[in-house]
Amino acid sequence: MNFWNDPLKVAAVWLEGIFTGWGMDAVLAHVLVVFLGVLLLITILMVLDIFLVWIERKVVARFQDRIGPNRLGPYGLMQPFADIIKLIIKEDTTPDGADKVVYNLAPILSMMSVLILWAIVPLAPVMLGVDLNVGLLYLVAAGAIGTLAIIMAGWSSNNKFALLGAFRQVAAMVSYEIPMVVALLIPTVLAGTMGMLGISEAQQGLWYVFLSPLGALIFLVSAVAELGRSPFDLSEGESEVVAGFHIEYSGMKFGWFYAGELLHAFTFGGFWGILFFGGYHFFGLENLGPLVAAAIVLFKALLGYWVIMWIKYTLMRIRIDHMLAFNWKFLVPLSLVVLMVTALLNTLLRDASTWVMGLSMFLSNALIAWITVEILRGRSRAEREKMEGPAQAALEAVNH
């Protein structure tokens, strides 16, 4: 067994050998090694999270024609460390009448709901926490815990703005979960499995973004809504609910929410890359070794994160009724239609070659997109005539 072919396994066997050499029980040594592996993964993610703050600030600066942090260290790289020191030594306040246990539990749950997602991320065929056969449902379940954390934070703060912000955010998250689940079913139908590894493997030939571009788009939109990022960042609103559910949090407790949000965006970028952009496949480059494959996955995750940032800093916040109407009247029916067409074509063309299958899938998606745009155009024309009709009549009355 070569280290470069299976680094995690080799390291685990080596460590277990050391532990049992000390006279430790074999089962205990195994549990300890697994625990250390989890600790290592979380540490890497948290360190990455520190740099995500820097990346986010640099990218938003570029979008807004600024330079961003550039004073501390080369390219301002030390800035996030200074921010963290500030957050840690800041006074930790708890509002009067807050529900202390729930109030302190909420940031932990919020961060946890993001970190547990990485248990199922396949960085390479041999580098993943666990290949759950219900991987995609696990993704949804982790999101449910995040929703719970937000409502806990909003309620326990004893602040009406926090509560209102939490209500808005949770209403959005619960509704956008539906198109997300339906969009997640599309790779499931195409790959025939809900396991992340199986879905990655099945994209060896053709990435699913070519088979189902609409599915990829719906997943991205509902992921942005699930993250509570602009244009769907309803929990914030300076003139209405100030900062939303985390208004009362200060210091590192606010830091947990902030870091959790950034890592969540990065993670969903990663899932977008894994589910629709081939996972660790990149023109055969992944055959060079698991570390290269992991680098490919991280690169795709960063690219997905960049797309999410691009959306965030380009579009402005939309109203809550528009947001919910967009979900229930547009995204849910569209995602159901796409899912049905995909499932039908997948069954009909089971024996066809990859190219026939890919082409017909792509064309069917293009057809659905065209019909959708036509329906929307018709609707908007009708609305405009309804609005302009009386105005036109009034204008003519004045002229006569």
Partner 1 sequence: MAILFLITAVVILASAMMVVTSRNLVHAALWLVSALFGVAVLYALLNAGFLAVVQVVIYIGAIAILFIFAVMLTRREMRETGPGLNKNWWVSALVSLLVFGGLAFLLSNWSGFSQTSAELPSGFDAVSALGDALISPDAFVLPFEVASVLLVTALVGAVYIAFNRK
Distance CA(258)–CA(59), nearest Å, equals 17
Q: Which is nearer to partner 1, 340 or 371 (CB)?
A: 340
Least Cβ distance, residue 133 to partner 1 (angstroms): 5
Largest CA distance in the chain: 103
- 194 interacts with partner 1 by CB under 8 A: yes
Is 172:225 a contact under the CB 8 Å cutoff? Answer: yes
Reported as half-sphere exposure (CB side, CA atoms, 13 A), residue 51 has a value of 9
Q: Does 143 bind partner 1 (CB under 8 A)?
A: yes
User: Which range in 142-150, 218-226, 366-374, 388-396 contacts partner 1 by CB under 8 A?
Assistant: 142-150
Taking residues 117 to 136 in sequence order and writing x for each that binds partner 1 by CB under 8 A, - otherwise, the string is ---------------xxx--
Least distance between partner 1 and beta carbon 185 (Å): 12
Give the residue among 82, 24, 28 at the shortest CA–CA distance from 54.
Answer: 82
Whichever of 163 and 211 has its CB closer to partner 1, that residue is: 163
Q: Among 12, 42, 137, 324, which residue interacts with partner 1 (rule: CB under 8 A)? A: 137
DSSP letter at 316? P
Dig out the tokens for 128 from the structure: 């993943």
Closest CB to partner 1 among residues 144, 285: 144
Closest CA to 168 of 106, 220, 245: 245
- Nearest approach, Cβ of 141 to partner 1 (angstroms)? 4
Contact flag: residue 35 with partner 1 (CB under 8 A): no
Question: Quick one: which of 49, 83, 177, 226 contacts partner 1 (CB under 8 A)?
Answer: 177
Summary count for the chain: helices (H), strands (E): 14, 0
Give dist(CA 307, CA 223) in Å, integer: 12
Q: Among 8, 78, 145, 303, which residue sits at the site for partner 1 (rule: CB under 8 A)?
A: 145
Which of 44, 141, 288, 387 binds partner 1 (CB under 8 A)? It is 141
Closer of 174 and 393 to partner 1 (Cβ): 174
CA 100 to chain centre: 29
With a CB cutoff of 8 Å and minimum separation 6, the contacts of 171 are: 320, 324
| 226 scored as a contact of partner 1 (CB under 8 A) | no
Instruction: Name the minimum Å distance from CB 105 to partner 1.
Output: 9
342 within 8 A of 186, measured Cβ to Cβ: yes
Least distance in angstroms from the C-beta of 102 to partner 1: 7
Count the neighbouring beta carbons within 10 Å of the beta carbon of residue 198.
17
- Minimum distance, C-beta of residue 137 to partner 1, in the bound complex (Å): 4
Residues 148-167 that bind partner 1 (CB under 8 A): 148, 151-152, 155, 163, 167
Secondary structure letter of residue 244 according to DSSP: G
Among 147, 200, 327, 335, binds partner 1 (CB under 8 A): 147
32 binds partner 1 (CB under 8 A): no
Q: Which 8-state DSSP code applies to residue 326?
A: I
Query: Of all helices (H) and strands (E), which one includes residue 204?
Result: none
List all residues 6 or more positions away from 91 whose beta carbon is below 8 Å from its beta carbon.
250, 251
Q: Which stretch binds partner 1 (CB under 8 A): 140-148, 204-212, 352-360, 389-397?
A: 140-148
Candidates 45, 123, 170, 184; binder of partner 1 (CB under 8 A) is: 170
- Give yes or no for a contact between 116 and 42, defined as CB atoms under 8 angstroms apart: no
Report, in Å, the least distance between residue 138 CB and partner 1: 5
Options 146-154, 201-209, 232-240, 341-349: segment touching partner 1 (CB under 8 A): 146-154
HEC sequence for 70-93: CCCCHHHCCHHHHHHHHHHHCCCC
* Distance from the Cα of residue 278 to its chain's centroid: 17
Q: Which lies closer to partner 1 via its Cβ, residue 17 or residue 192?
A: 192
Half-sphere exposure of 11 (CA within 13 A, CB side): 13
CB of 333 to partner 1, least distance (A): 14
Q: Which of 26, 39, 144, 363 binds partner 1 (CB under 8 A)?
A: 144
Lookup result for tokens 């190219």: 355
* Residues lying near partner 1 in the complex (CB under 8 A): 99, 102, 132-134, 137-138, 140-141, 143-145, 147-148, 151-152, 155, 163, 167, 170, 174, 177, 194
